[in-house]
A and B are shown apart, each in its own frame.
Chain A
Amino acid sequence: MSDPNQLLNQLREVFFQEAEEGLEVAEAGLIELSNGTFDLEALNSVFRAIHSIKGGSGTFGLTRLIEFAHTAEAILDALRSQDNPPATEVVDGLLLSVDHLRAMLAAERDGSDLDSARTQDLQAQLQVLLSLVQGGAPSSATAAPVTAAPAAPAATFATEWSIEFLPHTDLMAFGNDPILLLRELGSLGPCRVEAILDRLPSFEQLEPDSIHLGWRINLSAAVEEAQIRDVFAWVESETDLNIKRVEPAAGRPATEPAPITAPTAPKAIPSAARAMAAAQPQQHREASSIRVSTDKVDALINLVGELVITQSMLSQIEKEVQIPQLDRLRDGLAQLKRNTRELQDSVMQIRMLPIKFVFSRFPRIVRDLTTKLGKKVDLQILGEDTELDKTLLEGVADPLVHIVRNALDHGLETPEERLAAGKPETGSLRIEAYHQGGDVHIKVSDNGRGLNLAGIFKKAVQVGLVKAEDRLSDAEIVDLLFAPGFSTAAQVSDISGRGVGLDVARRNIQNLGGTVEVDSKPGKGTTFSIRLPLTMAILDGQLVQVGSQIYIIPLVAILESLLMGSAHIRNIAGQQEVYRLRDEPVPVIRLYDIFGVPAERKTLPNSLLVVVESGGKKAGILVDDLLDQQQVVIKSLESNYGSVGGVSGATILGDGTVALILDVPGVVSLANRQARRANDEWGTRAARSQAGTASGAGRSKA
């Protein structure tokens, strides 16, 4: 018998997951609505999402959520009876309420404290919006469900005022300070203040005792225009003042009564027809998918992995035994191999999700940031149905957000700068994803100013990454962007400066087995290209032998394998051995030295070198022999052994032996550390022997 509490908890968890997804849908719908076209389907999808959250909250007794969702739902319902797109402030308010619902859900889920002041504040704002949407005359009936919220009654009768306050340049010369006026205005009711900087001259040309700022203020207060004018009475002659009452969304017939019945009904079911229309697409969606926990899927994938190993073990035996029925056995094994591979592919598909889950957040980010930065950007999103593994999807989200913020902040110019450069004032940001050659490619391109290579170099010198006299290629300078310590992000109060730097973004992508490249043309724009494997559970690898050990090098990291000719081998001062590959020095890494295992071949001439690439640099790994190339199932070592340097995991080969999978960047950094140590020792020895010679010479002179 299952425990009823356990069942309830499971259902609660499902509700939270669905609610989160619902909020994503609502957010996407609201962004669509903010485009200025009336889209009933988008409105319905937002309504459905909020309505479901309210219903679920009722089931689990989450009263605060019910009240909050109810107000948002009432606004949406009122909007559905109109033929016009909602006003920007209505969409803004609804987006804020989506954010807050998310926070409320998280708080309920974790049992953490909720910012109830924020809830009340937003609730009051939503009430104002509701009366606005319903025609400006809030009825007591609409306010009824939320009267419990203390802030609500005052706001219920508030009017929305739009005030443009443009002081004359000499306002401050008369001893008046706009800050005091704004403070006074704030005492009337909640204000949203936006500074107007159009008239502000450049820093050099600014006369600091003249005032060139202006303000646009949205005031929600139960006041008359005269009361607002009173605030500015003293400065009337030194100010241009424009006060307007914000009317409800235009185009709505004045005679049509506001649909006040819907929000007041305790169960908030609008009309039967609408509710059915709302419910239909959802039923369809429920029928086409089921919710399964990731743990169950991972257990299944693990089992299939074991099956692949067993199958390759049987294939190995087939090569070694001689029995009369061998042909039939061989056919059976071939079929087993085919079926196993297909089964594996199908199971892997279960973990695949469309990249839409990550891309869907970008319209909101772009909208918020461009508003803040005063930029105009046309966002294009392509290939959002491209699928990749859930773990990869989650891992790539933060780096992508960082890259997109970076493009908006640094890449794209302001409309003035663009016009001055002869470009259209609206910039373009294109985010696309597609499959190519077994990998997922994600590109973020802007048509902004491009990278300022001289500026990057200068900054790198300043933070001590390179010396002013260093000569770097363009590609090497671009690579500095990803160097740890390049970004001043942690200190700068900037848009892309919050959160991780580009170095962390690249490291996260590399940890997922991916790469990042940057392509930039001055004045034309910048493209960040990310390449990721489809999945992290299997890997195409090259098996190599070092002594009695077999290692696996991921194929994606290998550039080529070659037999070393003695003429190309150089021993640079100290201990660093290099192989000259088409005039490019490639440091040689002796794997047996790093891992401390015996090896067959220790001399370089006529030995095999596997040339790999890590972080844009080449390195050669010395191996005894090259074996097969094959797909291997990755088994994590970390759960049993912790993190092992230079090794990303292990696999079981067909003959049952365990082979370690090399973490190429890790191996390269281990080798570099070893080379540095050897170099230091060599340097100390050389210095000592030089000192000895010098003192000997001194003595002989004396």
Chain B
Amino acid sequence: MAVTTLNEASTLVLPTSLDIAGSRDLQAALRPLLDSQDVAHLDASKVERVDAAGLQLLTAFVRRARSAEVSVVWRGVSAELKAAAAMTGLTFHLGLEA
């Protein structure tokens, strides 16, 4: 199942459901962003459903990116993702601070 797509500007568009069901596919889609570039663009504007597994995966990704000096740029963040991050105390760890 292709959960993510790269659009013209090399942005990884996150799926509508960031949950445990799709987390393995998402992990596979995120991995190449750490190898090839200095900036990883993520578009989370379409995310409607988030669970702790999805947040955990994104947190691990952002942490890894920081230690590899890859900047994570959020192209868009849905209200749902922001709310879930705030509720779990992960806003800062995800680099979602305003």
Contacts and interface: CB of A to CB of B under 8 A. Distances in A.
B51 interface: yes
Interface residues of B, number: 40
Interface in B34-65: 34, 37-39, 50-53, 55-57, 59-61, 63-64
B52 A172 contact: yes
Given A193-B88, A208-B24, A492 B60 contact: no
Please list the 4 inter-chain residue pairs (A to B) with the smallest Cβ-Cβ separation, ordered nearest first: A208-B23, A203-B64, A193-B89, A195-B89
B12 interface: no
Interface string B85-98: 00111101101111
B93 A195 contact: yes
Interface in A457-515: 458-459, 462, 488, 491-494, 497-498
The interface centre, meaning the residue of A179, A209, A462 with most chain B CB atoms within 10 A of its CB, is A179
B89 A172 contact: no
Contact of A208 (B27, B50, B95, B97): B27
B17 interface: no
Contacts of A200: 56, 59-60, 63
Given A182-B88, A203-B30, A488 B71 contact: yes
B71 A462 contact: no
B2 to A, nearest CB: 17
A201 interface: yes
A284 to B, nearest CB: 43
B31 to A, nearest CB: 8
Contacts, number: 106
B13 interface: no
A491 B89 contact: no
B43 to A, nearest CB: 12
Contacts of A195: 59, 88-90, 93
Nearest to B95: A493
Contacts of B84: 179
Interface of A: 172, 177-179, 182-183, 186, 193-195, 197, 200-204, 206, 208-209, 211-213, 215, 372, 417, 452, 455, 458-459, 462, 488, 491-494, 497-498
Contacts of B38: 455, 458-459, 462
Contact of A202 (B51, B64, B87): B64
B11 to A, nearest CB: 12
A213 B59 contact: yes
A211 B53 contact: yes
A383 to B, nearest CB: 33
A564 B18 CA distance: 70
B81 to A, nearest CB: 11
Given A197-B93, A209-B20, A458-B38, A492 B56 contact: no
Contacts of A459: 38
A421 B53 CA distance: 32
23 contacts: A172-B52, A177-B52, A195-B90, A197-B59, A203-B31, A203-B34, A203-B57, A203-B60, A203-B63, A204-B64, A206-B57, A208-B20, A208-B23, A211-B53, A213-B59, A455-B69, A462-B38, A462-B39, A488-B73, A492-B71, A492-B73, A493-B72, A494-B71
A193 B57 contact: no
A186 B87 CA distance: 8
B39 to A, nearest CB: 6
Contacts of A209: 20, 23-24, 53
Contact of B95 (A172, A186, A455, A492): A492
A179 B87 contact: yes
B26 interface: yes
Interface of B: 20, 23-24, 26-27, 30-31, 34, 37-39, 50-53, 55-57, 59-61, 63-64, 67, 69, 71-74, 84, 87-90, 92-93, 95-98
Contacts of A178: 52, 88
A179 B89 contact: no
Contacts of A452: 69
Given A179-B55, A203-B30, 17 more contacts: A172-B20, A172-B51, A177-B52, A179-B87, A186-B87, A195-B93, A197-B63, A197-B93, A203-B27, A203-B61, A203-B63, A208-B23, A208-B27, A212-B56, A492-B95, A493-B74, A494-B71
The interface centre, meaning the residue of A203, A206, A491 with most chain B CB atoms within 10 A of its CB, is A203
B63 A492 contact: no
Nearest to B57: A208
A319 to B, nearest CB: 64
Contacts of B26: 208
A455 B30 CA distance: 21
A574 B70 CA distance: 42
Nearest to A490: B73
A194 B24 contact: no
Contacts of B39: 462, 488
A180 to B, nearest CB: 9
Nearest to B64: A203
Contacts of B60: 200-203, 206
A577 to B, nearest CB: 39
Nearest to A213: B56
A160 to B, nearest CB: 17
A169 to B, nearest CB: 11
A172 B73 contact: no
Nearest to B54: A208
A492 B23 CA distance: 24
A182 B85 CA distance: 11
Contacts of A206: 27, 56-57, 60
Nearest to A173: B20
A179 B96 contact: no
A177 B23 CA distance: 14
A130 B31 CA distance: 49
A179 B64 contact: no
Nearest to B61: A203
